[in-house]
Amino acid sequence: MRLSRTVGYAVQATLQLAQTPSGRPVPCSRLAAVGKMPERFLLQVLRNLVTHGILRSTRGVDGGYSLDRNAEEISLLEVMEAIEGPHGSGIPEGDGFSEQAQQTLRAALAQVADTTRSQLAAIKLSSLIPSPAAQGDKAEATA
């Protein structure tokens, strides 16, 4: 499975926010700088995540973005669907398939989509955050 760049930015930003110790709002500019993402584009992504109840936006000098719920409650599926819409399957109409072949293919792809949705829903943001021990091991390896 390949993630779009937009979904990649959404996942990266939500993971950064999930790792923010105090849960304090983080400005878009900081998320963009740390993640090496284009700020103007990231702002659109973050607004979409706010609209879908994944992030909270706070205005003002100390404003920014924070998770609206705990990282244990937000699934990878939610983040992906907030950006790209419902994850499903489909084949274009009239691609040379017989009606029976189209029905069979649609049923098979629907089953794959259902399995994929279940698996993505089971992956919570908290499970994607590296443990402090793993981060320490990575720092030692690069030293």
Which band of pLDDT confidence, cut at 50, 70 and 90, is reported for residue 42?
Answer: very high
Mean pLDDT over the full length of the chain: 87
Are 61 and 24 in contact by the 8 Å Cβ rule? The answer is no
Concatenating the DSSP letter of every residue in 48-96 gives: HHHHTTSEEEE-STT-EEEESS-GGG-BHHHHHHHHH--------TTSS
Task: State the average pLDDT over residues 66-83.
Answer: 95
The CATH class given to the 5-132 domain equals: mainly alpha
Contacts of 114 (CB under 8 A, 6+ apart): none
pLDDT over 90 at 35, yes or no: yes
For the entire predicted model, the pTM comes to 0.80
Asked if 54 and 74 touch (Cβ cutoff 8 Å), the reply is yes
Pairing between strand 55-58 and 64-67?
Answer: antiparallel
d(CA 4, CA 64): 24
| Residues 132-142 pLDDT 10s | 655 555 445 44
